[in-house]
C-alpha cells in the first residue's frame, strides 16, 4: 500500500538514503537546518500549537480547492518550493517534480541551482491545460556577483516561458549547517548546476575545499552586496511579476511593497539559514498586514498536513510552498512519489475544509481558528 501521509515519506526516504555514506550526506543536506535546528523544529511546532474550530451543519457537499496566484489558476493552494540538486534524490531529478506538479495542476518553482536546465523544466508546462490556466514554471533566482550572469539567467527565464521571477533574498551568505560541514557535502561528478553550465558561471562546487562544498560555492558566487536598490534594476529587466522569497518581518514587507514587488514569500528557508529566527507562521500576520492587499503573501516552512495549509490560509496567506516532502516523494518513487505527496496533501486539505465548514479557498479566513487564535 502507498504511504498515507507525508511523514511516512520522510521515514521511507531516510531509510533509502541511509544505504551509503554518500546518500546519507544527501539525506542530511535535505533534512537538515542551520546550527541547532531550533527554527527548523519551531516551523512545525508552531503549526501544532494552533487549534482549528470545527463547524457543524454547514452544507459542505461541494468543495473547491482551486485558486489563483498572480492571476494564474492552480488546482490547489500549494506550490512546489524551489529546491536545489534534485538529481541527488532521483535520476529524473527536476523533470519528475515538474511532471508531478503539472499533473496536479500547480506550479513548480525551479531553482537556479537545479540539476536540470530551466528550459527543459519549462517544457513540461508547455501544454494546453497549463497555458489556459496561465500557469507555468516560476524561476527562482539567486543574484550572482557577476551581474551579467545574473542578467543572463533572467533573460533565459523569460525566454523559456517562466511566468514569474522569484528572487531569494535570505542567503547573502550561507547559513551555518553543521551536518554539511561534518559530511564535507559535495556533488558527485555527474551532478552539475545545469543553468550555469557553459554560461561563464561555475556549475560545480570549488575544488579542494573541506567542510560544506555548497557553503564555499555560495560564499564565492552569490552577491552579498545586493540591496533594495538592485531590486529596481532587477524589475527593470523584465515585465514578469517579481516575487521576493525570504521576508520575515513587517519592515521588509513594507520595503518590498514600496519597490513594486508583486508578492512575498514568508520564509526562513526551512530553518536552513538563521537559526533561532521565528517560525514563519508566527510572523505571517504582521506581514499580511504590511502587504495591505497590495502584494500577495505566500508562506513556507513546516507544512506537512492539510491542517497546516488551512491554518496558513486562515492567517492570510494566498498559498503555501511545499519543500522537503517533495524531495522525500522524489527519493522514494520519482514522479509518482511527488504526485502522491501532492495528492495526499490535497486530500487532507479537502477533509479539513469539510470539517471546518469551508467550501472554497477564497472563503477561508481566521474564523476557522479556535477563538484564542483568531486575529
- Give contact residues for ligand LAC (rule: CB under 6 A): 84, 113, 171, 269, 272
Radius of gyration over alpha carbons of the chain, in Å? Answer: 19
Q: Smaller CB distance to ligand LAC: residue 114 or 342?
A: 114
Binding of residue 84 to ligand FNR (CB under 6 A):
yes
The answer to whether 180 contacts ligand FNR (rule: CB under 6 A) is no
% helix, strand, coil for the chain, step of 5: 45, 10, 40
Binding partner selected for residue 139 from ligand FNR, ligand LAC, none, CB under the kind-specific 5 to 8 Å limit? none
- 81 touches, from ligand LAC, ligand FNR, none (C-beta below 5 to 8 Å by class): ligand FNR
Contact call for residues 115 and 86 (beta carbons, < 8 A): yes
Contact 306, 348 (CB under 8 A): yes
SS3 string of 165-211? EEEECCCCCCCCCHHHHHHCCCCCCCCCCCCCCCCCCCCCCCCCCCC
Question: Which contiguous run of DSSP H or E holds residue 291?
Answer: helix 280-291
Residue that is written with C-alpha cell 477563538 in the block: 371
State yes or no: is 269 an active-site residue: yes
Select 3 or 30, whichever has its Cβ closest to ligand FNR: 30
**Residue from 97, 106, 115, 140 in contact with ligand FNR (CB under 6 A):** 140
CA 38, CA 44: separation in Å to the nearest integer?
A: 10
Give yes or no for residue 323 binding ligand FNR (CB under 6 A): yes
Query: CA–CA separation, 26 vs 179, rounded Å?
Result: 10
For ligand LAC, the closer CB: 84 or 89:
84
Judged by CB under 6 A, which of 105, 201, 302, 306 binds ligand FNR?
302
Of 10 and 348, which CB lies nearer to ligand LAC in the complex structure? 10
Partner in contact with 235, chosen from ligand LAC, ligand FNR, none, beta carbon below 5 to 8 Å by kind: none
Return the axis-axis angle of helices 324-356 and 6-17, rounded to nearest 10°: 170
Q: Is 174 in the site for ligand FNR (CB under 6 A)?
A: no
The dihedrals phi and psi of 281, each to the nearest 5 degrees, come to: -65, -25
Report the distance separating Cα 46 and Cα 59, nearest Å. 30
User: Which of the ranges 69-77, 298-306, 310-318, 333-341 carries the binding residues for ligand FNR, by CB under 6 A?
Assistant: 298-306
User: From the CB of residue 92, how many other CB atoms can be counted at a distance below 10 Å?
Assistant: 17
Question: Among 107, 156, 158, 159, which Cα is nearest to 129's?
Answer: 107
140 binds, among ligand LAC, ligand FNR, none (CB under 5 to 8 A by kind): ligand FNR
Active-site residue, from 90, 190, 259, 269: 269
Question: Interface with ligand FNR includes 306 (CB under 6 A)?
Answer: no
Give the one entry of ligand FNR, ligand LAC, none that residue 43 binds, where binding means its C-beta sits below a cut-off of 5 to 8 angstroms depending on kind.
ligand FNR
Give the helix ranges, DSSP H, for 105-177. Answer: 118-124, 128-133, 147-160
185's contact among ligand LAC, ligand FNR, none, with CB below 5 to 8 A by partner kind, is: none
Q: Does 133 participate in binding ligand FNR (rule CB under 6 A)?
A: no
Q: Is 267 in the site for ligand FNR (CB under 6 A)?
A: yes
Residues recognised as catalytic: 269
Amino acid at each position: 500500500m502507498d504511504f498515507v501521509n507525508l511523514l511516512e515519506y520522510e521515514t521511507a526516504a531516510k531509510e533509502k538514503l541511509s544505504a551509503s555514506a554518500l546518500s546519507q550526506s544527501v539525506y542530511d543536506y535535505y533534512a537538515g537546518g542551520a546550527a541547532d535546528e531550533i527554527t527548523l523544529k519551531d516551523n512545525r511546532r508552531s503549526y501544532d500549537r494552533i487549534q482549528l474550530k470545527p463547524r457543524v451543519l454547514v452544507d459542505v457537499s461541494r468543495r473547491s480547492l482551486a485558486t489563483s496566484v498572480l492571476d494564474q489558476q492552480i488546482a490547489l493552494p500549494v506550490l512546489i518550493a524551489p529546491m536545489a540538486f534534485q538529481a541527488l534524490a532521483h535520476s529524473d531529478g527536476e523533470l519528475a517534480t515538474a511532471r508531478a506538479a503539472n499533473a496536479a495542476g500547480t506550479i513548480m518553482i525551479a531553482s537556479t541551482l537545479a540539476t536540470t536546465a530551466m528550459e527543459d523544466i519549462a517544457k513540461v508546462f508547455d501544454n494546453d491545460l497549463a497555458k489556459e490556466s496561465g500557469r507555468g514554471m516560476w524561476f527562482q533566482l539567486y543574484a550572482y556577483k557577476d551581474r551579467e550572469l545574473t542578467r543572463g539567467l533572467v533573460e533565459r527565464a523569460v525566454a523559456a516561458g517562466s511566468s514569474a521571477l522569484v528572487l531569494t533574498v535570505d542567503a547573502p551568505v550561507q547559513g551555518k549547517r553543521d551536518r554539511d560541514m561534518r559530511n564535507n557535502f559535495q556533488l558527485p561528478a555527474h551532478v552539475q548546476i545545469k543553468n550555469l553550465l557553459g554560461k561563464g558561471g561555475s556549475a560545480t562546487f570549488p575544488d579542494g575545499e573541506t567542510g560544506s562544498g555548497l557553503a564555499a560555492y555560495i560564499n564565492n558566487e552569490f552577491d552579498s552586496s545586493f540591496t533594495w536598490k538592485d531590486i529596481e534594476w532587477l524589475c527593470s529587466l523584465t515585465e514578469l511579476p517579481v516575487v521576493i522569497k525570504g521576508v520575515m518581518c513587517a519592515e521588509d514587507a513594507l520595503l518590498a511593497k514600496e519597490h513594486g514587488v508583486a508578492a512575498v514569500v514568508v520564509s526562513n528557508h526551512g530553518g536552513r539559514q538563521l537559526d533561532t529566527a521565528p517560525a514563519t507562521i508566527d510572523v505571517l500576520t504582521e506581514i499580511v498586514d504590511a502587504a495591505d492587499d497590495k502584494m500577495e503573501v505566500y508562506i513556507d516552512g513546516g507544512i506537512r498536513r492539510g491542517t497546516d495549509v488551512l491554518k496558513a490560509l486562515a492567517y492570510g496567506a494566498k498559498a503555501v510552498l511545499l519543500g522537503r516532502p517533495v524531495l522525500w516523494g522524489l527519493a522514494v518513487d520519482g514522479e509518482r512519489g511527488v504526485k502522491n505527496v501532492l495528492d495526499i496533501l490535497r486530500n487532507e486539505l479537502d477533509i479539513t475544509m469539510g470539517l471546518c465548514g469551508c467550501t472554497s479557498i477564497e472563503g477561508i479566513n481566521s474564523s476557522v481558528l479556535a477563538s484564542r487564535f483568531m486575529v
